[in-house]
Chain A
Amino acid sequence: MSLAIRRQSILPGFGLTLGYTLVYLGVIVLLPLAVLVLRASSLGLAGLWDIATEPRILAALRTSFSLALAAAAINVIFGGIVAWVLARYDFPGRRLLDAAVDLPFALPTAVAGIALAAIYAPNGWIGALIAPLGWKIAYTPLGIVVALVFIGLPFIVRTVQPVILELEQDVEEASATLGAARMQTLVRVILPTLAPALLTGFALAFARGVGEYGSVIFIAGNLPFVSEIAPLLIIVKLEQFDYAGATAIATLMLAASFLILLTINLIQAWSRRRMGHV
C-alpha cells in the first residue's frame, strides 16, 4: 500500500492483513455509506432542506432529538448515581447488579421493546399503578423516553464507573479536613473531576438514543407529529417507495451522529489536557 508507510518489522503478513482489512471495510461499510451520501448529494442542499422541513419529517426529527436529549440527561443523573454506588458501596447483590447494568447491551432491542410496552401499558405492572392518577406512559412520548433511558443506561455507567474507581480519595479527605461538608465536596471537588466522563457518557447515550428503533417502536404509539421517531419515518418512507425522503432523513441522522462523535473526541482531548488522563 502506498499510503501505508510502515517501519521495518520482521513480522510477516502486513500487506495481506491490511489489504484484507481495507477491502472488507470498503465493501461492508464504506461503499454502502458512500452510496447514501451520493444519493443525498444528488438531491442537492436545497432539495435536502425542502425534505427535512416537511412538517412530518421535522416533527419526527424533533421528537427523536429532543427525547434522546431528555433520556440522556435523566441517565446522567441516575446513571451517575448508579455508577457511584456500584463503585463506592458494597451490599448484598452489588456484583449481580453490576453485571446486570450491561443487560441493555445484551438484550435484543425488540425484546426490550415489548417488555417495556407490557410493563408501562395501561394494564401493565406499572401502567396499572399510575393509571388511576391519570398518568399514561406507554403510547406517549414519555414511553419513548423510558425506552431510551433503558438503552442509554450502560453508556453512562460504564463510562463513569472506571473514573470513579480511579479517584484519589486523599483529595476528598483534604476537602473534608478543610471544612467542606460532604455535599460541598461532592459538588465542588468530585463532580468537576467526573464531568468529562459524564459528558462523554451523555453524548454516547444521546447518539444511541437518536438512532434507536427496536426498543422504541413498541412503546411509542407511533403517532405522526406526536410520537413518531425519525428512524421509523425512514421505514415508512421506504415502504412508500419515497427513496429521496428516506435518504434525506438518514443523511441528516448520519451527519448528526458524526457531529456527536466529533464532540466526544473533543471532550476527551479536553479532558486529557486538563487532567493528564482520560
Chain B
Amino acid sequence: MSETLAEWETRPAKIAWAPKTFAITFSKSPVAGEGPVLASILVGVTLVFLLLFLVLPLAVVFYEAFANGFAVYWEALNAPDARSAIWLTLTVAAIAVPLNIVFGLAAAWAIAKFRFAGKSFLITLIDLPFSVSPVVAGLIYVLLFGAQGLFGPWLKAHDIEIIFAVPGIVLATIFVTFPFVARELIALMEDQGTGDEEVALSLGASGVATFFRVTLPNIKWALLYGVLLCNARAMGEFGAVSVVSGHIRGLTNTMPLHVEILYNEYNITAAFAVASLLALLALVTLVAKTLLETRFKDALPGKSRGH
C-alpha cells in the first residue's frame, strides 16, 4: 500500500521518534501547525477531558468494588442472586449473538453479493434499531406480547410467558444488537465483490463449499469484530431488558439489572463488584477490538467506525 504525500504529512509521527522524556510531537510542516502554546492548550484540554469522562468512571468502578477488601468482593459475586444473574446474562448472549450472526451472514450475502432494487432501503431498515431508544425497544415487545398486548390473550390462553420471562429478555437483546454483525459484513463484502466466489464456483465447488472455504475465510476478522461489539452490547444491555424483565431476582435478572437492584438497595460495594465484571468485559472488548483494528486493518471494512 503506497501512501500519498498528504497522508504521510498529516498522520502522527511514529512513537519511536519521540524522545524518552514526555514530549508532544506535532505538525512537521514548517508553516502550518499550532504554535507551542496553542498546542499545549489543546493537548491539555484533551487530557483533562478524557481523564474526567473516561479514566475516572472506569477507575471508580474498581475502586468501589474493592473498597471493602477482596473477601467482600468475592462474597458479592458469589451470592446466589449474583450467580444467577451472571448465568442469565451468559445464556441470553449465547442465544442472541448466534441468531444475529446467522442473520448478519444471510443479510450480507444477499445484499453484498447481488444487485436488486430497494437495497439501500433494506440497509436503512437493518440499521433502524440503532436509532430507537432502548426503552422504546422494550416497550414494543410489551405492546406485542404483554398482558394487554396484541398477542397477550392468546399467549395467556396457551400458558406461554414472554414478557417478564427469559424469552422477552432474549427478544429485546436481539433487537438492540440486531445491526452489529450485519453492518460490518455488508460493508466488507461489498468491498470484496464476487470475484473469488465466481472462481470457486466455476472450478466446480458447490455453493456451500464456496461459502465455507472462500467467503468465510475472507470475512472472518470482520465477523469477529462484529461479534465482539454485538456480544458486548448483548451482555451489557440495560434499558430494553429492564422494560421486559420484571426484575424477578434469581429468575429474570441479568447482570446490569442486578447492578441496579443492588445499587438502589444501597448495597454499593456489591453493585460495583458485579459492575466490575461488566467493566472487565468492556475492557477485554476494547483491547480485542483495537488489536483487530491494528493487526487486521485490511480485513475490516474501511469506512469510518461508529457504535
Contact = CB atoms under 8 A, between A and B. Distances in A.
B222 to A, nearest CB: 17
A30 interface: yes
Contact of A106 (B171, B211, B286): B286
Interface in A1-48: 1, 3-7, 9-14, 16-18, 20-21, 24-25, 28-33, 35-36, 39
Contacts of A106: 229, 232, 236, 282-283, 285-286, 289
Contacts of A238: 139, 142, 243
A59 interface: no
A235 B54 contact: no
Nearest to B18: A90
B73 interface: no
B116 A246 contact: no
Contacts of B237: 108
Interface stretch (B7-15, B76-84, B153-161): B7-15
A36 B140 contact: yes
B148 interface: yes
Contact of B10 (A85, A103, A153, A167): A167
Interface string A186-230: 100000000000000000100100111110001000000000000
B85 to A, nearest CB: 12
A102 to B, nearest CB: 6
Contacts of A6: 114-116
A254 B132 contact: yes
A115 B25 CA distance: 33
Nearest to A124: B60
Contacts of B242: 213-214, 235
B198 A177 contact: no
A250 B139 contact: yes
A231 B137 CA distance: 11
A114 interface: yes
A170 B116 contact: no
Contacts, number: 347
A116 to B, nearest CB: 6
User: Looking at B9, B129, B275, which has the most chain A CB atoms within 10 Å of its CB?
Assistant: B275
Interface in A243-272: 243, 246-247, 250, 253-254, 257-258, 260-261
A229 to B, nearest CB: 9
Interface string B108-150: 0111011111100010011011011111100111111000111
Interface residues of B, number: 120
Contacts of A92: 15, 18, 22-23
A112 interface: yes
Interface in B252-284: 255-257, 259-260, 263, 268, 271-272, 275, 278-279, 281-283
Interface string A75-96: 0001001101111111110110
B103 interface: yes
B103 A24 contact: yes
A202 B117 CA distance: 32
Contacts of B239: 109, 213-214, 231
Given A92-B18, A110-B260, A212-B133, A105 B110 contact: no
Contact of A28 (B9, B61, B175, B275): B175
A169 B304 contact: no
A172 B42 contact: no
A189 to B, nearest CB: 10
B306 A169 contact: no
B207 A12 contact: yes
B114 A78 contact: no
Contacts of A82: 46, 49-50
Contacts of A50: none
B31 A177 contact: yes
A229 B22 CA distance: 44
B27 interface: yes
Interface in A135-191: 149-150, 153-155, 158-159, 161-170, 172-173, 175-177, 182-183, 185-186
A13 B283 CA distance: 38
A7 B54 CA distance: 49
A52 B242 CA distance: 24
